[in-house]
Amino acid sequence: MREIYTRDPEDRYYDPSQIEVSDPVEVCVGQLKMMLLTDKTSVLGDPRFGLSLESLVYELNLSEYSLRKEIDLHLTTYCRLFKDMGGSYTVKFFLGSNRDIALIDFSIPFNGNQSPVVSLKLS
């Protein structure tokens, strides 16, 4: 499997000479970031793609269960590689001073380890 290299230039592991990736973990991380950071209706041809996390968490006041259900639906539809690799994730909500905080950690087992590969904090 080959994917376009999507690391942000601000990422400490960014390689300006790289154009594509074939490492399954790197491909999966790219797919997760795309799914999480894309707003619904911004992809031509598939208006359902993207989680619109900001509005899911703060405008709709979803419960942890509802957010997990929406993430599971998107993982099944758009990021099957994550489940195929045995990935898992956690969702936690915390009380903040101005707004509540949602923490979503995604982990992919790699060489017997499981470490967070994508951590997203919305506050």
Q: Which residue has the tokens 């900001």?
A: 54
The confidence band for 89, taking pLDDT boundaries of 50, 70 and 90, is very high
Provide the mean pLDDT of the chain. Answer: 81
> What pTM value is reported for the model?
0.76
Higher pLDDT, 5 or 59: 5
The pLDDT of residue 74: 93
Q: What is the CATH number of domain 3-122?
A: 3.10.450.40
Res 115 pLDDT > 70: no
Rounded Cα–Cα distance for residues 3 and 57 (Å): 29
The pLDDT of residue 123: 44
Cα dihedral sign, 90-74-9-109: positive
Span 16-69, pLDDT tens digits: 998 998 888 888 888 888 888 888 888 888 888 988 887 777 765 667 788 888
The pLDDT of residue 119: 52
Rounded Cα–Cα distance for residues 3 and 76 (Å): 19
